[in-house]
Amino acid sequence: MAIAGFAGLVGVGLIFGAQTAGPGARLPFAMVVFGVQLLFILAWTMATRPPALLLVAGVSVAAAAAADVAAVLPEIAALGPLGYVAAGALFVGVVGQLVRRADRARVTESLGATLFIVIGVVSFATLIVLSRIPVGTQAIIVCLAATAVALTVARLTDALLPWPRLAPQVPRGAAGVVLGAMLGTLAAAILGSYLVPMTPTRGAVVGLVAAAAAVLADLAVGYSEAGRQMAGEPPTMWVARHMQGPLGGFALAAPAAYAMSVFFL
């Protein structure tokens, strides 16, 4: 239930942060996004504990800051600079891992963790780019509201009624996933009826995509954690382990919101 509340707070923070964005005033929203990126890095590095943890975390923090700058500074909003940031961060991670003598045998595992976390933090930066295009702020409100509702409802349902269990090792139920996606879509449709140029139908469609992506990403994290435990890896701290899912859901919902805004709205 605490993680359900955390998911709701992250959504509220990003939505209200988007309201501060405007022409010539992107920095406040970028600071909000950077704070969420730091939470993402902390949760995923502490939960997965990759080899060369400090190197992975350092590269990821630098990538988060560079992605936010690349989203704010260009005169024309585009995703191209974010791709360059991701590629550069991965290159630095490769070089940094290869020059290390310790854990060189686990270089593939470390690079995989670096790639995943870097893509996650860069995905959050797409929200800044989205706030700079027409209808972008409305899309952020609808998609992130749907995401927050879906994740919160799914987690609350699993806390009370994790049924039917999707897997014996994963304490999640199908009811929470389905109910979360449905209520997230409903919330998006309601918001779509009040936002211009949104409509209830448009809101429902973009909300469904964001909500479904978020709850499935959250569920996938549960399977990943169960796999690590079955492999005999020691359990990580409770907070980091459970923060992974909601933060991963928002990380996937952010580029989904951008895609729906560009191709559908």
Digit-coded pLDDT (tens) for 43-91:
999 888 888 888 899 999 999 999 999 999 999 999 999 999 999 999 9
Whether 124 and 208 map to the same domain: the answer is: no
Tokens of 75: 């005169």
Last residue of a domain, one of 130, 153, 180: 130
Whether 72 and 157 map to the same domain: the answer is: no
Q: pLDDT band for position 196 (50/70/90)? A: confident
Whether 184 and 144 map to the same domain: the answer is: yes
Interval 93-124: pLDDT, tens: 888 877 876 655 567 777 888 899 999 999 99
Whether 170 and 188 map to the same domain: the answer is: yes
**Is 146:252 a contact under the CB 8 Å cutoff?**
no
Last residue of a domain, one of 130, 154, 180: 130
Whether 154 and 243 map to the same domain: the answer is: yes
Structural domain range at position 82: 22-130
Indicate whether 1 belongs to any domain: no
Indicate whether 54 belongs to any domain: yes
Taking the complete model, does pTM exceed 0.75, yes or no? yes
Domain total in the chain? 2
pLDDT of residue 230: 82
DSSP 50: -
pLDDT at 190 over 90: yes
> Hey, how many other C-beta atoms are within 10 angstroms of the C-beta on 24?
5
Which amino acid type is present at position 199?
T
Whether 265 and 153 map to the same domain: the answer is: yes
Whether 113 and 139 map to the same domain: the answer is: no
How far is residue 208's CA from residue 229's CA, in Å, rounded to a whole number? 32
Whether 226 and 114 map to the same domain: the answer is: no
Indicate whether 209 belongs to any domain: yes
Bond prior to 164 in cis (omega within 30° of 0): yes
Whether 139 and 244 map to the same domain: the answer is: yes
Residue 90, helix vs strand vs coil: helix
Q: Which of 225, 260, 256, 251 is nearest to 64 (CA)?
A: 251
Indicate whether 116 belongs to any domain: yes
Indicate whether 239 belongs to any domain: yes
Whether 214 and 259 map to the same domain: the answer is: yes
